[in-house]
């Protein structure tokens, strides 16, 4: 975490130096304030879009009293405030958390509640509460913010040092995309590590890793029979993300088999 975090900070520092080289050193207060504002807006908008994209609705205590009692008990044991509970129809058994410690929201799918037993649901809830307690969502937004800022700076560097013709415009887009992907490789590395940490914290909270391991098996199996597509940004937040591609390098989650193996070990 220290190494990857340092690399992300180095990317940001290089971008800041480039901006000051282009516009002068007197602009550094604006660079800092602008970066904080950019990440803050990204955090607020990202949270709203994640909830909206799955059509999440408030899950009242009258509708699910047992679930609320379980979340309240886990939150108390884990030393955080009880988060807002919401429910959504995702087409697969899944769950995700957004927000920060003290202002978190946990979303569970209707399919998850139908598929898992009580102990397995508790394991999933403990995993999501661990993300909130550990401020993992905030950390991911910071990483994505750094990637976006570095990409924007790279694009402007190409435009300001070129001839400002159509070729430079397309080159700037390509350079920005490649730069952002390079930084996101390190953000994904943080995300995968935080999944392992949340799994371990959940196992500690409920006294065993077996319920969460069984839940992951059922969730993985349910994802193979999915009949709808979840937004890619939400996939990164969910307890299980089955996106393909270069799994070990560009995935937000570790392989589910390794997570299950660790939980049972």
Catalytic residues: 128
Site of tokens 């955080």 = 80
């Amino acid at each position: 975490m220290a190494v990857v975090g340092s690399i992300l900070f180095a990317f940001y520092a290089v971008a800041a130096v480039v901006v000051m080289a282009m516009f002068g050193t007197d602009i550094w207060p604006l660079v800092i304030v602008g970066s904080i504002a950019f990440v803050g807006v990204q955090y607020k908008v990202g949270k709203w879009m994640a909830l909206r994209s799955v059509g999440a609705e408030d899950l009242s205590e009258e509708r699910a009293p047992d679930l609320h009692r379980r979340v309240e008990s886990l939150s108390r044991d884990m030393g955080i405030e009880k988060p807002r509970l919401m429910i959504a129809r995702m087409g697969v058994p899944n769950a995700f958390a957004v927000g920060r410690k003290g202002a978190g929201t946990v979303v569970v799918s209707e399919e998850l509640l139908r598929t898992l037993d009580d102990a397995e649901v508790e394991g999933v809830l403990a995993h999501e509460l661990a993300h909130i307690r550990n401020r993992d969502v905030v950390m991911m937004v910071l990483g994505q913010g750094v990637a976006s800022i570095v990409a924007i700076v790279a694009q402007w560097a190409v435009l300001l040092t070129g001839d400002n013709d159509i070729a430079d415009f397309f080159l700037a887009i390509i350079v920005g995309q490649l730069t952002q992907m390079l930084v996101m490789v390190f953000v994904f590395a943080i995300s995968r590590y935080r999944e392992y940490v949340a799994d371990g914290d959940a196992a500690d909270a409920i006294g065993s890793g077996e319920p969460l391991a069984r839940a992951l098996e059922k969730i993985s199996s349910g994802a193979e029979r999915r009949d709808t597509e979840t937004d890619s940004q939400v996939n990164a937040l969910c307890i299980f993300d089955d996106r393909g591609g270069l799994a070990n390098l560009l995935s937000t989650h570790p392989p589910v088999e390794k997570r299950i193996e660790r939980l049972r070990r």
